[in-house]
Structure 1
Amino acid sequence: MAGMALLGVSVIGGLGAVIGWLVVNGPETVAERKARQPELTVAVLEDGAVPEPNTSLDNMPAKEPGSHDDAHASADGATSEHGENPGSSGQGEHGGADPAAQTPAPAQQEGPRFEQALVEETEKGMLPMVAPDGRKAWEVYARPFEGDTKLPRIAIIMTRMGISRSLTEAAALALSPEISFSFSPAASNLDDQVAMAQRAGHEIFLDIPMEPFGYPANDPGPYTLLTSLSAVDNLNRLESMLGRTVGYAGVIGVKGSQFTTDEEALTPVLSVLKERGLMYVDSAATSRTIALEIAGTIQLPRAVANANIDDNPAVAEMQRRFAALERTAQRTGYALGVIPPLPLTIDLLVAWSATLAERGFVLVPATAIANKQSLR
């Protein structure tokens, strides 16, 4: 009985499907569907005939010269050549034209000043080189020294510039242009910040992080030059940093208490700096550094820090180190201090440097004491 019932249901279901197919695909239904389908008729033109325009683009008014629509968006979609964000609609919140969006964008900030003859194009960027006529970056980009050459000279390099753009700007505006700035290769918008410092008159150096004692717990960053790397790997890292910007006179070794005691690791690096026409400043992270001896042997322009001010300076300690710089300059004729960019250091440096002349010293850019200090 159950089987008979199941057979009956199957037969009835099958008949229902057949009837439904006939209804959907009957002659009248098919005709109606065909009538509703869109048709496209394409005219076949004779040879040489010009077709009529079939798009509204052909009838749009021409753009006015200089309009924002003429700007070409950059490959990554960040900004146009006029400094406009391509993702901005230029409309107000109600869909109308936004008057602010129609204001011409300010001109882009110029990049660092440099001479084309002093750089070479490489896959790592524009690297410094000795010009065909023999000119070198450390001489061309040096801030001219026109002070009294008989007075004891004191130079100051403010390192790790660029990590904070606001501090870079504050230092550039507040400090004497005789103070040299050394920028971190890890800084963002490095070209713009270097250009800002150049316009304020400061000569430029580049920080080169080197392996300190206690590495890797004490790690200066991903491009740190290491004694455990081959010379090729260290030079690749060096060139990657040198290619980050242009217009600098030299480099300063940052940290480096371990690296600057290893002749095998250090010599190739200093040799490349010499070949590229740069000056080297040793931060004297350790009294055991051999950088000055190697630099003297290969005739690399050089200087060494006589005092370092750390990241947590007390006012009394900073004043003590400023006094130590003065004593060194009085005794030897030359002294160099290395200072980080902090609100406190900027303020104290402004006040201290303003009184140097009355005490018989002259503030000079770092290049003005190149090769002047004793090797020990």
Structure 2
Amino acid sequence: MANDLSTPLTGRRRLRRGSGRPHFPVARLLFGVITLIAIGVVLRLVLVEEPNGGLPSIEAGITNTQTGNSVADSAASGPVTLTADPVQYPAGAAAPSGAAPADNAGAPTTDTTILADLSEETSNGPIPRMSSSGETPFAAYRYPFDLAAAPGPKIAIIVTGLGINAQGSYDAISQLPDLVTLAFAPYGKALERTVSAARGGGHEIMLEVPLEPFDYPQNDPGPHTLLTGEPPRQNLDKLFWLMSRFGAYTGLINNMGARFTASAADFAPVMEELGSRGLGYIDDGSSNRSVAEQLAGANKVPFARAGMVIDANPARASILSALASLEAQALDQGSAIGIVSALPISVQALSEWAAELDSKGIALVPASALMK
């Protein structure tokens, strides 16, 4: 004991190390194994072409999920040519008592071709124009509604945002009354088919055009947005691209655009173009600074301004409350226009509300019927 206490500390460490079992380099061995595994993984990734990363896979045929939706099936059954049917949408014609055209009774027709006299070829594709005889796309493609058959208060509903989700668009088309106007965004991959389904179902349609909001580009309505401060020719080139995405529409409705619609210098060339081509324009009512009404009047563009966004709060109770407010506006002013997005909850609430509108003494009308 005395010898151990008197032995220097370094000496005791040497004695203890020398007196135990042989040291085995476990840490070094584990490090070497991990290194070899890592090298193997890297070599496999580099040398073996396997995009699924070794995950199990199976090939399966893709089937059409649109069965059960007659509108979607009729549009997806084969190639569709978008043209205006002169029987279904004759210029200046009127449907008795606000009913759908006779061709829309029962199964919807898919004969919705664009009238050649109302089409102009461009580098982007055909766009609407006024015919040499003065016939306009607004008159040719509008729903032929007889206002005299509905002398009481009137409400027009425009459903926006269609075309981007094809199946959602088909569902909305099949649920909504044909007197509801449908507005399609210019970006969907199957626009010709969804627009054809809408026309075949009896709806009049509009084109949504993206216009610059005040917080652009943080809030971006989409490609080919018309911008303030750009040369008029550049904005018109964008407009022609947007107008060529599909055909047979009565006019345009803005998507955003508080800054653009407030600038007469930028908006005037666009409205002048709509007037010369015989198209209408609806202002969604989101900006009090919009000069759309003045410009539309100066260029003889059929025009209306929406009074309310129905599903600003996309909850069923809020939607029904907004529709009740729209009814009150129609009773007070004689007519009202509401904007609704194509959300499933909005479409369902709207279709149920529309079924009871006649009993309240209010007529549901297409948007073109309220455009001056």
Q: Say whether 1:108 aligns with 2:109.
A: no
Q: Look up the equivalent residue of 2:146 and give its one-letter code.
A: E
**CA distance in 1: counterparts of 2:81 and 2:128, whole angstroms:** 20
TM-score of the pair, normalised by structure 2: 0.69
Q: Look up the equivalent residue of 1:235 and give its one-letter code.
A: L
Shift of 1:167: 1.2
**CA distance in 2: counterparts of 1:292 and 1:195, whole angstroms:** 30
Taking only aligned residues, the RMSD between alpha carbons, in angstroms, comes to 1.6
TM-score of the pair, normalised by structure 1: 0.69
Match of 1:142 in 2: 142
Native 8 Å contact 1:259 1:266 kept in 2? yes
Match of 1:241 in 2: 242
Native 8 Å contact 1:113 1:198 kept in 2? no
Residue aligned with 1:223, SS:
coil
**CA distance in 2: counterparts of 1:311 and 1:359, whole angstroms:** 24
Match of 2:255 in 1: 254
Residue aligned with 2:319, SS:
helix
**CA distance in 2: counterparts of 1:144 and 1:106, whole angstroms:** 27
Shift of 1:311: 6.3
Q: Look up the equivalent residue of 2:117 and give its one-letter code.
A: A
Aligned residues: 267
* Pairing of 1:1-376 with structure 2 (within 5 A): 107-111=78-82, 112-146=112-146, 148-310=149-311, 312-371=313-372
**CA distance in 2: counterparts of 1:216 and 1:181, whole angstroms:** 27
Q: Look up the equivalent residue of 2:142 and give its one-letter code.
A: A
Shift of 1:313: 0.9
Shift of 1:116: 0.6
Aligned pair in 2 of structure 1 residues 333, 243: CA closer, same or farther (>3 Å)?
Answer: same
Residue aligned with 1:196, SS:
helix
Sequence identity (%): 36
**CA distance in 1: counterparts of 2:310 and 2:181, whole angstroms:** 15
Q: Look up the equivalent residue of 2:369 and give its one-letter code.
A: A
Unpaired segments ≥5 residues, structure 2: 1-75, 83-111
**CA distance in 2: counterparts of 1:272 and 1:185, whole angstroms:** 18
**Superposed CA offset, 1:36-79 (max 9, x none):** xxxxxxxxxxxxxxxxxxxxxxxxxxxxxxxxxxxxxxxxxxxx
Aligned pair in 2 of structure 1 residues 262, 130: CA closer, same or farther (>3 Å)?
Answer: same
Aligned pair in 2 of structure 1 residues 215, 197: CA closer, same or farther (>3 Å)?
Answer: same
**Superposed CA offset, 1:156-183 (max 9, x none):** 1111110111111111111100001111
**CA distance in 2: counterparts of 1:159 and 1:307, whole angstroms:** 13
Unpaired segments ≥5 residues, structure 1: 1-104, 372-376
Residue aligned with 1:160, SS:
strand
Shift of 1:312: 4.9
Task: Tell me which structure has the larger Cα radius of gyration.
Answer: 1
**Superposed CA offset, 1:90-149 (max 9, x none):** xxxxxxxxxxxxxxx964344442211000111121111111111100111011113633
